[in-house]
Structure 1
Amino acid sequence: MLEEVERWLADRSWSVADRPVHRLLAAKRATGQTVSVVLPALNEEATVGGIVTAIRQELMLRVPLVDEIVVVDSGSTDRTSPAAASAGATVVHRDTILPRIPAVPGKGEVLWRSLLVTRGDIVCFVDADLREFSADFVSGIVGPLLTEPDVQLVKAMYDRPLGSAAGQGGRVTELMARPLLNLHWPRLAGFVQPLGGEYAARRSLLERLPFPVGYGVELGMLVDALHLVGLDALAQVDVGVRRHRHQDGQALGRMAAAIYRTAHLRLARGHLVRPALTQFERTGAGFEPRTHPVDTEERPPMADIAEYRSRRVA
Structure 2
Amino acid sequence: MKPFVSIIIPAWNEADVIEETLEHIQRQVNVASREKLRIEVIVVDDGSRDNTYEAAWPWVDKLVKHSRRRGKGAALQSGVAKARGDLLLFLDADLRATAAEAFVLIEPLLRREADMAIAKLPPSGGKAGFGLVKGLARRGIYRLSGYATEAPLSGQRAVRADRLRELGKFARGFGVEVALTIDAARSGLRIVELNVPITHRETGRDWHGFLHRGKQFAAVGFTLLARWKGRKRVWVSSDQSSI
**Same fold judged by TM-score > 0.5?**
yes
Q: Is the 8 A contact 1:36 1:123 kept in 2?
A: yes
Residues 193-208 of structure 1 correspond to what in structure 2 (within 5 A)? 193-208=151-166
Q: Is the 8 A contact 1:160 1:169 kept in 2?
A: no
What's the counterpart of residue 229 of structure 2? Answer: 268
Secondary structure (helix, strand or coil) at the match of 2:195 reads strand
Tell me the distance in 2 between the aligned counterparts of 1:140 and 1:225: 20
Secondary structure (helix, strand or coil) at the match of 1:188 reads coil
Instruction: Flag the structure with higher strand content.
Output: 1
189, 199, 205: which is aligned to 1:242? 199
Tell me the distance in 2 between the aligned counterparts of 1:226 and 1:81: 34
Displacement after TM superposition at 1:66 (Å): 5.0
Structure with higher Rg: it is 1
Which amino acid in structure 2 is aligned with residue 156 of structure 1?
A: A
Tell me the distance in 2 between the aligned counterparts of 1:34 and 1:170: 39
What's the counterpart of residue 24 of structure 2? Answer: 54
Displacement after TM superposition at 1:212 (Å): 0.7
Structure 2 residue 48 is the aligned partner of structure 1 residue 79: no
User: Residues 270 and 181 (structure 1 numbering): CA distance in 2 closer, same or farther, change over 3 Å?
Assistant: closer
Displacement after TM superposition at 1:86 (Å): 2.3
Aligned length: 224
Tell me the distance in 1 between the aligned counterparts of 2:130 and 2:171: 20
User: Residues 248 and 76 (structure 1 numbering): CA distance in 2 closer, same or farther, change over 3 Å?
Assistant: same
Residues 74-113 of structure 1 correspond to what in structure 2 (within 5 A)? 74-95=46-67, 105-113=70-78
Secondary structure (helix, strand or coil) at the match of 1:46 reads coil
Which blocks of at least 5 consecutive residues in structure 1 are unaligned?
1-28, 96-102, 272-314
Which amino acid in structure 1 is aligned with residue 94 of structure 2?
A: D
Tell me the distance in 2 between the aligned counterparts of 1:205 and 1:162: 35
Which blocks of at least 5 consecutive residues in structure 2 are unaligned?
233-243
- Identity score, percent: 28
What's the counterpart of residue 238 of structure 2? Answer: none
Tell me the distance in 2 between the aligned counterparts of 1:186 and 1:204: 21
Displacement after TM superposition at 1:241 (Å): 4.0
Query: What's the TM-score, normalizing by structure 2?
Result: 0.83
User: Residues 169 and 197 (structure 1 numbering): CA distance in 2 closer, same or farther, change over 3 Å?
Assistant: farther
Displacement after TM superposition at 1:131 (Å): 3.7
Secondary structure (helix, strand or coil) at the match of 1:161 reads coil
Secondary structure (helix, strand or coil) at the match of 2:32 reads coil
Tell me the distance in 2 between the aligned counterparts of 1:169 and 1:156: 19
Instruction: Give deviations 1:203-227, integer Å, cap 9, x for gaps.
Output: 1122122311211111111111111
70, 75, 86: which is aligned to 2:42? 70
User: Residues 228 and 104 (structure 1 numbering): CA distance in 2 closer, same or farther, change over 3 Å?
Assistant: farther
Q: Is the 8 A contact 1:162 1:169 kept in 2?
A: no
Displacement after TM superposition at 1:89 (Å): 4.7
What's the counterpart of residue 214 of structure 1? Answer: 173
Tell me the distance in 1 between the aligned counterparts of 2:132 and 2:41: 29
User: Residues 227 and 52 (structure 1 numbering): CA distance in 2 closer, same or farther, change over 3 Å?
Assistant: same
Which amino acid in structure 2 is aligned with residue 201 of structure 1?
A: V
Displacement after TM superposition at 1:38 (Å): 0.7
Tell me the distance in 1 between the aligned counterparts of 2:132 and 2:61: 31
- Which is further off, 32-41 or 169-178? 169-178
Which amino acid in structure 2 is aligned with residue 193 of structure 1?
A: A
Query: What's the TM-score, normalizing by structure 1?
Result: 0.65
Displacement after TM superposition at 1:62 (Å): 2.4
Tell me the distance in 2 between the aligned counterparts of 1:34 and 1:133: 22
